[in-house]
Chains A and B, each alone.
Chain A
Amino acid sequence: MKANGLIRTVYGNYWSVAILALILLVLFPLSMDIFRLNLVGKYLTYGFVAIGLVMLWGYAGVLSLGQGVFFGLGGYAMAMFLKLEASDPVSTAIQSTPGIPDFMDWNQLTALPWWWQPFHSLPFALFAVIAVPSLLALIISFAMFKRRVGGVYFAIITQAVALILSVLIIGQQGFTGGVNGITDLKTLLGWDIRSDSARYVLYFANAALLLGAIVLCRLIQQSKLGTLLLAMRDKEDRVRFSGYDVAMFKVFTFCLAAALSAIGGAMFALQVGFMSPSFVGIVPSIEMVIFAAIGGRMSLVGAIYGTLLVNFGKTYFSESFPDLWLFLMAALFIGVVMAFPNGLAGLYESHVKPWLAARRSKATKAAARVAPTAPTHRPTAPASPAAAAGELGLAGKISSQIA
């Protein structure tokens, strides 16, 4: 019965992913035109950041206010490759130095900087999408967590990094495109990424990657590492004095969140066709935290819904009341944190799930009446301690965290 319950919980957890997959892969493509779908695709790239934050903030208890850094670095790595492809000598023939990106030409650069050179290669660019942000994350987090810097201090430092990077990108206009970013991205290995068909393909690729990332994160949550993260959040010293190097687990999670954000950034550059410092700094980084908070910081799937909801809201309200949007979003954030700290997923756990369970147990009872010899799998009143724990205690809490 216990094993049965466990299997059920595991599969039960994947149900929510299946529903999300259905929405992303079937419902949205059928009900939206390509313009709206592309917009959703853009929102979903923030979803990568949001699930990274679920792992980092929700599970490991480390709040980062600088995830835009990694989103941006991933996006820039991708955009650099695309920009070089768009800057072939023929189409840039009117420049004083043909063959280099247009913004370099405008800034009187006459040759491609050496660190741009490797981005002619797609394999290198894809490698850099993951490697550069992960490496930066490794350096920051190793330096911080080994010294046991945490909590508010860590959040402030990540925020400073976000500020530094956005200032750097804006200041180094000749190398980075400055405040405009890297624009006019056209093709990927000769394939026009601005066409409708490419947008469809990219949307599905993005959604599939996102679902894959959710499954990966869920596997991590279900591993011992996931348990350890929860344990660390609760009693860090106990974990440390059980023989674990607590800092390394935080470093791992921070790098994971960074790599996920970077994938989101790369997909953003591909789908939206540009990358700019406005996705790197403090404000976008905090917005991304809000997505995760509203969706539910313990829930991977919830974070995606949160991201979609806030962004739909943002698009709708910023079209209708452009001046009010920021206030509205702030109010939403404060409201969520005060009223339901576990976000939408928390509301689902506390209100929808008990209702569903009550209905199910009614159905089971009815079935039991028809066939009195059949064992009742899920009694409302827990008959055995194992079922009680599974239903009320642990599974309830943990599954609410990974639902």
Chain B
Amino acid sequence: MSNTDFALAVEGLTVSFDGFKAIDDLTLYVDRGELRVVIGPNGAGKTTLLDLICGKTRASSGSIKFKNEEMSELPEHLIVRAGIGRKFQTPSIYENLSVFKNLEVSFPRGRGVIGALGFKCDQVVRDKIDEVAQLIGLADRLDVESGLLSHGQKQWLEIGMLLMQDPELLMLDEPIAGMSARERELTAELLLRICQNRSMIVIEHDMDFVSRIAHKVTVMHQGKILAEGSMAQVQADPKVIDVYLGH
């Protein structure tokens, strides 16, 4: 029923926790190569939406199709292998491992038990690590224990770990939370650079940042989509002003 052209087609998605519908009959399409930003007040269900797409939470009903393949029944690791990468809200990196190891472990080879035992960090892996480290600006920090990085660098490292896998859909949950102005600037540049050839869904609150990166903005409210369109359209929408931007 969904159009094969979309990278991601979420249709009629509902999840209820003890009767409370965190996501209520939500339909959302993301194009290939599109950078979509999802905004909305606290409790609108933005993070839950990402949880549902990546399989962390299971939907009560509805479908999630990625490249026209149903994802909602797959275990998490297979959803990732299908090409969906997800960054968590708080930086989720392996603090005891070096930046290099963090990236190496994220390389999508040797993902089974036997494969991991026989995994060799060869030139292909090293080249990829170097490439990603350049991109996220941590090329000179590869040997640093990642727990010692600054907050912003940790966020970039997690994005880098996802980039190691070349996901076709990248979902970022508040990537610039807690960042300085300069770091925000760099992150915006980073996101614009990495959204080539892949779709992205970004949850963010900072409106300057959103208008800088978004191709299209989706406004969520109480588990539903309130408005969708360009930043200018959305900001002009009286419903949006009422529930969100006006406050």
Residues of A within 8 A of B (CB): 2, 220, 223-225, 227-228, 230-231, 234-235, 237-246, 248-249, 252, 385-386, 388-390, 393-394, 397-398
Instruction: Say whether B98 faces chain A, with CB atoms less than 8 Å apart.
Output: yes
- B93 is contacted by which of A220, A235, A245, A398 (Cβ under 8 Å)? A235
Question: Residue B56 at the A interface, CB < 8 A?
Answer: yes
Residues of B contacting A241 in the complex (Cβ-Cβ under 8 angstroms): 54, 56, 76-77, 80, 85-86, 88
Tell me whether chain A's interface is mostly helix, strand or loop, or mixed. helix
CB <8 Å contact, B54 and A394: no
In the complex, are the beta carbons of B165 and A245 less than 8 A apart?
no
| B145 contact from A228, A246, A249, A393, Cβ within 8 A | A393
User: Is B141 a contact of A242 with CB atoms below 8 Å?
Assistant: no
Other 15 A-B pairs with CB < 8 A, given A238-B94, A243-B165: A224-B110, A225-B116, A225-B119, A227-B101, A230-B94, A241-B76, A241-B77, A241-B85, A243-B77, A243-B108, A245-B111, A388-B143, A393-B145, A394-B97, A394-B143
> Out of B104, B106, B148, which one reaches A393, CB within 8 Å?
B148
Query: Which bracket fits the contact residues of B?
Result: 35 or more
Q: How far is B116's CA from A244's CA once the two chains are assembled, in angstroms?
A: 10
Q: Could you say which residues of chain B place their CB within 8 Å of the CB of A235?
A: 92-94
Q: Which residues of B contact A227 (CB under 8 A)?
A: 97, 101, 104-105
Which of chain A's residues have a CB closer than 8 A to the CB of B141?
Answer: 385
Q: Inside 8 A of A397's CB, which chain B residues have their CB? A: 96, 145
Collect the chain B residues with CB atoms within 8 Å of residue A225's CB: 113, 116-117, 119
Complex Cα spacing A309 to B75, Å: 45
Q: Quick one: given A231-B105, A249-B116, are A385 and B140 in contact (CB under 8 Å)?
A: yes
Which 9 pairs show the lowest CB-CB distances between chains A and B? A393-B145, A389-B143, A243-B80, A224-B119, A225-B116, A394-B98, A238-B92, A231-B94, A224-B116
Assess the A243–B81 pair: CB atoms within 8 A. yes
A248→B113 contact, CB < 8 A? yes
Could you give 19 example pairs across A and B, Cβ below 8 Å? A223-B116, A224-B119, A228-B116, A230-B96, A234-B95, A235-B92, A235-B94, A238-B88, A238-B161, A241-B80, A242-B165, A243-B77, A243-B108, A244-B111, A252-B113, A385-B141, A394-B97, A394-B98, A394-B101
Write the chain B residue with the least CB distance to A236.
B92
* Cα–Cα distance between A224 and B75 once the two chains are bound (Å): 22
Given A224-B105, A227-B104, A237-B56; A393-B94 close (CB under 8 Å): no
Contact check, A390 vs B119: say whether CB atoms are below 8 A apart.
no
Complex Cα distance, B146 from A238, in Å, reads 14
**What chain A residues lie within 8 Å of B56 (beta carbons)?**
237, 241
User: Are B80 and A394 interface neighbours, CB within 8 A?
Assistant: no
Chain B 63-101, CB-CB to A under 8 Å as 1, else 0, gives 000000000000111001100011010001111111001
Residue of A227, A235, A394 with most partner-chain B CB within 10 A:
A394
Docked CA distance A245–B77 (Å): 6
| Residues of chain A with a CB closer than 8 A to B118's CB | 223
Evaluate whether A238 and B117 lie within 8 angstroms (CB atoms) in the complex, with A224-B105, A386-B143, A393-B144 already known: no
User: Does chain A have a CB within 8 A of B19?
Assistant: no
Residue B112, interface by CB 8 Å? yes
In the assembled complex, the Cα of A151 lies from the Cα of B212 at a distance in Å of 44
Query: Per-position contact with A for B100-131: 1 when CB-CB < 8 Å, else 0?
Result: 01001110101111001111000000000000
Q: Are A242 and B145 in contact (CB under 8 A)?
A: no
In the complex, the chain A residue whose C-beta lies closest to that of B110 is A224
Query: Bound complex: CA of A259 vs CA of B7, how far in Å?
Result: 46
**Which residues of chain B come closer than 8 Å to A242, judged between CB atoms?**
80, 105-106, 161, 165
Q: Give the CA-CA distance A252 to B105 in the complex, in Å.
A: 18
User: Once bound together, how far apart are the Cα atoms of A390 and B148, in whole Å?
Assistant: 14
Q: Which residues of B contact A245 (CB under 8 A)?
A: 75, 77, 111-112
Contact B143 A231 (CB under 8 A): no
Shortest Cβ distance from residue A233 to the other chain B in the assembled complex, whole angstroms:
9
Tell whether, in the assembled complex, residue A389 and residue B145 are in contact, meaning their CB atoms are under 8 Å apart: yes
**Residue among A235, A244, A390 with the most chain B CB within 10 A?**
A244
Cα-based distance from A246 to B97 in the complex (angstroms): 18
Bound together, the chains give a CA A35 to CA B59 distance in angstroms of 65
Report the Cα distance A220→B80, complex, angstroms: 25
A249 to B77, CA, bound (A): 13
- Measured between alpha carbons, how far is A239 from B112 in the docked complex, in Å? 12
A397 to B140, CA, bound (A): 21
Contact B116 A231 (CB under 8 A): no
Residues of A within 8 A of B119 (CB): 223-225
User: Do the beta carbons of B116 and A237 come within 8 Å of each other?
Assistant: no
| Complexed CA–CA distance, A246 and B75 (Å) | 11
